[in-house]
Chains A and B, each alone.
Chain A
């Protein structure tokens, strides 16, 4: 793939994941605002999410979209504001998100699948 095609694809995937995230965030904000009402305990959270196919599917999509969206944005910030060279910025951003998503999978397991 030519560099131009690669950049075009990155741009496209960041926007596509953004569209997915726009919907996920809307749902997430509404859910949080509703759930926090009257205090929040672990029991309340887990009672809703544990074993729920709906929550599981929603969070999988949410996390996957984050995994695509976050590193592309972070890499741009590293290049432009922290003067990192392009390759280094992308590697750092990619590693950071890999770690974050690792935690995300653990969270998913804890909250839905255990």
Chain B
């Protein structure tokens, strides 16, 4: 038999960055067909796409949209950190880049929220 790690071994920023990156990628990947499908409704005319936009003009959906924007920003910024680690020859786990990625997510979330509200 062998024992495996639990959450205590995973309690460090680089691991959290991995989880955020993987979960955000998964959710975005699952969202993508839905996104394309909604836009494709315009094939049936402008009214069809407008119908969809009207149907999702509700607070719950707006929060979900905001969530997706934040996930996209986090996944992209976290991905840039990975690209820098893999292609640059910088050392360390680049915790500064983790903070920068989180910051980028916050900024994108704020900007989108403001754009939604105003």
Contacts and interface: CB of A to CB of B under 8 A. Distances in A.
Interface of A: 15, 18-19, 21-22, 25-26, 28-29, 32-34, 36-38, 40-43, 45-46, 66, 70, 73-74, 77, 99-100, 103-104, 106-107, 109-111, 114
B46 A22 contact: no
A41 B50 CA distance: 6
The residue in B32, B41, B82 that gathers the most chain A C-beta atoms within 10 A of its C-beta is B32
A41 B112 CA distance: 17
A110 B39 contact: yes
Contacts of B116: 36
A29 B118 contact: no
A76 to B, nearest CB: 8
Contact of A42 (B26, B46, B118): B46
A22 B53 contact: no
| Among B33, B41, B73, B118, residue most surrounded by chain A Cβ atoms (within 10 Å) | B33
B43 A114 contact: yes
Instruction: Give the secondary structure class of A's interface.
Output: helix
| Chain B interface residue number, banded | 35 or more
B76 A22 contact: yes
A53 to B, nearest CB: 18
Nearest to A74: B29
Contacts of B41: 110
Contact of B36 (A41, A43, A103): A103
Contacts of A46: 42, 46, 49
A38 B83 CA distance: 36
A40 B54 CA distance: 9
A107 B33 CA distance: 10
A107 B108 CA distance: 25
Contacts of A110: 39-43, 49
A41 B54 CA distance: 8
Nearest to B52: A42
A111 B118 contact: no
